[in-house]
Structure 1
Amino acid sequence: MNRPNRPNGLNQFPHLSRSSHLNRRPNRRILLSAASGGALAAALPLHGRLPEQPAGPSDRHRVRREEIAALHRAAAAVRQGDSRYGGGSAQAQAAGHLLDQWALPLFGRPLPPTREHELCAICAELARLAGWAALDTGRHAAARRHFDRALYWARAAEDPDAITYVLATMALHAALYSRPATALDMIQGALGPATHHASTRALAFTRLVEARAHARASDGRSAGIALASAERLLDAARPGGGPEWLDFLTHPRLAADAAEIHRDLGDSRACLAWHAQAEAMAPNAFTRSVGMRLAVVATAHLKAGDLEQSLAVGHRSVDILCQVDSRRARDYVLRLVHGLTPHRGLRAVDTFLSRVRHELNTPVA
């Protein structure tokens, strides 16, 4: 793997000079406001402050292990907030502040090589989270910029799991927004020789994204092969055998994606069968994902001709997604709304559309 120049934040981000790294204090007011006093604030020690510098003159500016640990905890809190409250939430939006105002300035201070690689990996995850939040709120150009930064830092960290995961996330972005051919090209990069040391769980996620891209391209055979490969890889993954940020990829989560894959392929029966396997996902932890899956399932019921069940599941989706700030999730509900067009005028349908309009703050034509 070709390693980029030492990532001191100056080559990739010319607006951050060395002097600004050393002199600029993190904007704690912005970050703690975004944290809303919850899990993110708790993740940062000493009431939202990174640990003080050691008193010894030789170590005065050295990056301490506690500072790296605090960033790890804060990134985990951002991931949890994004999953529960959506990319538009203050918790998810904190990723960019953490990256630019807390993580990057540390490159202006002495770093042992091992800690430097760890900090690069944290920067990759924070940039990926910032990109996902942008994607989730419909800011696609910003999402691509953040994902490019994430890939830069993952390569600088020489972390096969991070490289594979970022490339797969970039491919998922393309697949979700009508560029499945581009997504499949990116998948080939994610599965290339540079990432052959990636964990089984990271490869399972990549194959799952590949299946979603094939489904968006209406290639059922290739989608089935990729999905079966993802399932085999996940079966083989050891507990704790991958990074913590891939712990979300469980069999219920794979089943949730499989339900959407079969919805995209027009196979309502398979969609509903996979949905049954995904119901173990906890809505209080995976709020957005569960709400979106219910919108997918409601659409499948509608396509199967069961209007009553479609509306019942659609109402459950709104119950959950009214807590989530996610344009992407609202788009899933709007797909159901579009399918209900021939049934407008029925009281039950109009009641559902009214809920979408008012509780999701979503215009319904």
Structure 2
Amino acid sequence: MPEPSRSKELPASLLTNPAMIEACRVRDFGRIFQLVKTRAGIYPSMIARRCDLTPSRVGEVTAGRRQLLHMDVIERISDGLCIPGHMLGLARRGWESPQGLTVTPRGPVETPPGDEPLAAGLPGADVDGILALAAEHDLSPSMLDALHSSIADYWRRDDEHGGETLRPAVVGQLRYVVNLLKEQRPTPMRDGLHSIAAELARLTGWTYFDARQYNQARAYFTEALGLAKAIDDRQFAANVLACMSLQATYQDKPGDALALVTAAEDQARGAGGTPRVLAMLAMREAFAHATLGNHSATHSAISEAHTCFSRISADDPDPAWVAYFDEPKLIVDTGIAHGRLGEAAFAEPLIADALRRERRSNHRGRAFHAIWLARTQLQRGKLDEACHTAMDALVPAAAVCSQRLVGHLREFYEQLEPLRREPAAVAFEARLRELLPRQISGSPRP
């Protein structure tokens, strides 16, 4: 990003103000916007324009009626208001580096006594060099099977623990496979490597999406699309586009979500997508329509998903990556789509039924679905049930590293604000602070 003009910089007195430092530390953007207005004369309309936000959203945040949790929005605020990245828990922003900085070459550094240089001809100890050594053998179909098995294991561990700790291993394996693609190989082997690399890139993108680091997620999803395109795997390309559609719903971009999932459905149908794949995509389309608030289109997409699912046969050549979309997943996603529309009476029994059938080892899925069930119960005025259900989500939530999951918990916590003094809400907050104290440290207190 180019260096901002001096006229856009915040006064040093504001950036060093203890109130501003603390507001940035806990990402209290309502307080930040108030301080920017009173201390720097930057009014809400100007904040909205600089940060690519709507004036109404800036007003809601300033009034304390809404929080900003999405990483790309936080980055836009840092860049738009010239708040140094470290103050908001971000990496150093591009505009913070002085322009025209040159580095003067230095002379050779003498080797300290006792530190012998590497013997000539030995590769360096960098990761790429090590992986290149590992690649110096012929590939076999059994090796490709082993790589596919490791991906299945990564997904299982992602469900149980979240993707944050897995990411270095996944990225390392992605680099390894891409390195193998640099060599000439028979077409079946090369296509197999492209398929594995595409799956690893999608998984990496998913781990960033789950961490709410949306720019990085989009970069890896795009890489996965390119790898799938190289072997004309349009069903997998549809899967990646569906992931990007889901991410767009989290970024409050329902129009993009609908465009992406529509493209995904076109890809899948053109490739003779299986009924299970088409059912999964129809449900993602329902999510996009529900986020747009389009009731009839949402109901139509839900109906299409169930119709496609009813056509599933044991003989279908389903790709491995869609096996997760079973009957409980269809049911819970149907409930969530109704929940997104505010149709809590339809949503509650569906989500409750699916939750009873959820695998115990799928900690993140159980936590997500319990939170959705709690939200629908709260919409129906069932405060005690909602708080009890939400407490059931806390133990699996504490076992998983997922900022996306934390965001859902915070939203439910904020919805309790008018009822915060009720005994059930008090009990839930106490349990929340016991199990996940850091995740809600910036949330409002009664």
Distance 1:22 1:272, change over 3 A: closer
Aligned to 2:287: 212
Structure 1 SS opposite 2:130: coil
Alpha-carbon offset, residue 298 of structure 1 = 0.5
Q: TM-score, normalised by structure 2?
A: 0.67
Distance 1:110 1:284, change over 3 A: farther
Alpha-carbon offset, residue 164 of structure 1 = 1.1
Between the aligned partners of 1:23 and 1:288, the Cα distance in structure 2 is: 33
Which letter maps to 2:257?
A: A
Residues 280-312 of structure 1, C-alpha deviations (whole Å, 9 max, x = no match): 543433221121111011011111111110111
* 1:233-248 alignment runs, 5 A limit: 233-239=308-314, 241-248=317-324
Aligned to 1:9: none
The answer to whether structure 1 residue 228 and structure 2 residue 342 are counterparts is no
Q: In the alignment, is the contact (CA less than 8 A) between 1:211 and 1:226 conserved in 2? A: yes
Which letter maps to 2:296?
A: R
Say which is worse superposed, 133-142 or 175-184, in terms of deviation: 175-184
Structure 2 SS opposite 1:238: coil
Larger CA Rg, structure 1 vs 2: 2
Between the aligned partners of 1:276 and 1:346, the Cα distance in structure 2 is: 24
Match 1:362 to one of 439, 442, 445: 439
Q: In the alignment, is the contact (CA less than 8 A) between 1:63 and 1:109 conserved in 2? A: no
The answer to whether structure 1 residue 180 and structure 2 residue 254 are counterparts is yes
Between the aligned partners of 1:264 and 1:112, the Cα distance in structure 2 is: 48
Structure 2 SS opposite 1:24: helix
Between the aligned partners of 1:131 and 1:275, the Cα distance in structure 2 is: 27
Alpha-carbon offset, residue 320 of structure 1 = 1.7
User: May I ask how many residue pairs the two structures share in their alignment?
Assistant: 316
Aligned to 2:117: none
Match 2:169 to one of 94, 98, 107: 94
Alpha-carbon offset, residue 121 of structure 1 = 0.9
Structure 2 SS opposite 1:285: coil
Which letter maps to 1:167?
A: L
Between the aligned partners of 1:332 and 1:161, the Cα distance in structure 2 is: 30
Structure 2 SS opposite 1:273: helix
The answer to whether structure 1 residue 351 and structure 2 residue 427 are counterparts is yes
Alpha-carbon offset, residue 23 of structure 1 = 7.2
Alpha-carbon offset, residue 156 of structure 1 = 1.1
Alpha-carbon offset, residue 92 of structure 1 = 4.9
The answer to whether structure 1 residue 73 and structure 2 residue 149 are counterparts is yes
Between the aligned partners of 1:234 and 1:258, the Cα distance in structure 2 is: 12
Between the aligned partners of 2:274 and 2:228, the Cα distance in structure 1 is: 15
Q: In the alignment, is the contact (CA less than 8 A) between 2:242 and 2:261 conserved in 1? A: yes
More relative contact order in 1 or in 2 (CA 8 Å, sep 6+)?
Answer: 1
- Structure 1: which 5+ runs fail to align? 1-18, 29-49, 54-60
Distance 1:294 1:128, change over 3 A: same
Alpha-carbon offset, residue 81 of structure 1 = 1.0
Alpha-carbon offset, residue 117 of structure 1 = 1.0
Which letter maps to 1:317?
A: A
Match 2:214 to one of 140, 143, 150: 140
Match 1:167 to one of 220, 235, 241: 241
Structure 1 SS opposite 2:401: coil
Aligned to 2:343: 267
Distance 1:232 1:280, change over 3 A: farther
The answer to whether structure 1 residue 26 and structure 2 residue 131 are counterparts is yes
The answer to whether structure 1 residue 125 and structure 2 residue 199 are counterparts is yes
Between the aligned partners of 1:23 and 1:139, the Cα distance in structure 2 is: 25
Distance 1:84 1:193, change over 3 A: closer
Aligned to 1:277: 353
Structure 2 SS opposite 1:110: coil
Alpha-carbon offset, residue 249 of structure 1 = 0.1
Distance 1:333 1:202, change over 3 A: same
- Structure 2: which 5+ runs fail to align? 1-122
Between the aligned partners of 1:273 and 1:346, the Cα distance in structure 2 is: 25
Between the aligned partners of 2:240 and 2:288, the Cα distance in structure 1 is: 16
Between the aligned partners of 1:166 and 1:80, the Cα distance in structure 2 is: 18
Distance 1:143 1:306, change over 3 A: same
Match 2:386 to one of 310, 329, 335: 310
Q: In the alignment, is the contact (CA less than 8 A) between 1:164 and 1:203 conserved in 2? A: no
Between the aligned partners of 1:71 and 1:305, the Cα distance in structure 2 is: 49
Residues 17-68 of structure 1, C-alpha deviations (whole Å, 9 max, x = no match): xx9999722399xxxxxxxxxxxxxxxxxxxxx7x86xxxxxxx43222321
Give the percent of matched residue pairs that are identical in Structure 1 and Structure 2.
Answer: 25
Between the aligned partners of 1:252 and 1:81, the Cα distance in structure 2 is: 20
Q: In the alignment, is the contact (CA less than 8 A) between 2:360 and 2:366 conserved in 1? A: no
Q: Report the RMSD for the aligned CA atoms in angstroms.
A: 2.4
Between the aligned partners of 1:24 and 1:67, the Cα distance in structure 2 is: 20
Structure 1 SS opposite 2:439: coil
Structure 1 SS opposite 2:194: helix
Match 1:110 to one of 179, 184, 188: 184
Alpha-carbon offset, residue 172 of structure 1 = 1.1
Between the aligned partners of 2:194 and 2:357, the Cα distance in structure 1 is: 31
Which letter maps to 1:279?
A: L
Between the aligned partners of 2:426 and 2:257, the Cα distance in structure 1 is: 37
Aligned to 2:140: 64
Between the aligned partners of 1:139 and 1:23, the Cα distance in structure 2 is: 25
Between the aligned partners of 1:205 and 1:94, the Cα distance in structure 2 is: 28
